[in-house]
């Protein structure tokens, strides 16, 4: 049985590209699981948990910017929900990068505060995922048309949106945990 990468396989019900992405996300979920686990260890063991109002604004800002970016983009391209999610994802990643830079410039101590170290970590991991997504997107763009069997634009956009949504969920979950607990 020979099935092209972008075609749905009869045995799995997914295309190979979809299955590859889901496997990557499963591995990524475990990576974030390790982060959450470390957070649980540090938070439960901490006798004193430093949490200034700046930290609350920082964590909340990261999540709010994600929602805001999506909401701003939605009316313009409402026919394309995938594009909205991707736009929100990239905006959130850029906002995270800006936020981190601003916090470092303000001299917020990461080395002496576990809370701030975790805020930086979650923001940085989100940024790293965005960078990976951009690099993969660029590679696909440069290779476009050079391979005989490739995903069409809509399928590619859909897969990218799944990736962006899952990453936002993971990183947003971490930041929300930092705020709530």
Distances from the Cα of 120 to the Cα of 25, 26, 99, angstroms? 22, 24, 9
Cβ pair 129, 99 in contact under 8 A: no
Query: In sequence order, which residues have a C-beta less than 8 Å from that of residue 20 and are 6 or more positions away?
Result: none
Read off the tokens for 5.
Answer: 């990468």
First to last CA, the chain: 52
- Decide whether 50 or 144 has the Cβ nearer to another protein: 50
Q: Does 163 bind another protein (CB under 8 A)?
A: no
CB of 180 to another protein, least distance (A): 14
Place of tokens 């929300």: 176
Q: Which is nearer to another protein, 12 or 147 (CB)?
A: 12
CB of 36 to another protein, least distance (A): 5
Least distance in Å: CB of 166 to another protein? Answer: 12
Least spacing, CB of residue 168 vs another protein, in Å: 17
| Closer by beta carbon to another protein, 74 or else 162 | 162
Closest CB to another protein among residues 6, 43 = 43
Residues between 9 and 38 with contacts to another protein, criterion CB under 8 A: 10-13, 26, 29-30, 32-34, 36-38
Environment class of 171 (CB within 10 Å of its CB; exposed 0-12, middle 13-18, buried 19+): buried
Nearest CA to 132 out of 167, 88, 95, 175 is that of 167
Out of 3, 7, 24, 40, point to the residue binding another protein (CB under 8 A).
40
Q: Residues in the site for another protein, rule: CB under 8 A?
A: 10-13, 26, 29-30, 32-34, 36-45, 47
């Amino acid at each position: 049985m020979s099935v092209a990468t972008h075609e749905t396989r009869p045995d799995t019900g997914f295309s190979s590209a979809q299955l590859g992405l889901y496997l990557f996300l499963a591995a990524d979920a475990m990576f974030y699981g390790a982060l959450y686990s470390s957070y649980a260890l540090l938070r439960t063991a901490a006798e004193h948990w430093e949490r200034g109002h700046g930290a609350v604004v920082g964590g909340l800002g990261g999540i709010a910017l994600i929602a805001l970016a999506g909401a701003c983009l939605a009316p313009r391209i409402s026919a394309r929900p995938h594009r909205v999610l991707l736009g929100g994802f990239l905006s959130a990643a850029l906002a995270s990068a800006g936020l981190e830079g601003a916090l470092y410039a303000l001299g917020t101590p990461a080395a002496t505060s576990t809370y701030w170290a975790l805020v930086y970590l979650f923001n940085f991991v989100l940024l790293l995922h965005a960078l990976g997504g951009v690099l993969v997107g660029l590679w696909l763009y440069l290779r476009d048309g050079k391979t005989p069997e490739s995903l069409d634009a809509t399928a590619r956009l859909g897969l990218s949106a799944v990736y962006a949504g899952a990453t936002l969920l993971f990183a947003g979950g971490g930041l929300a945990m930092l705020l709530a607990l």
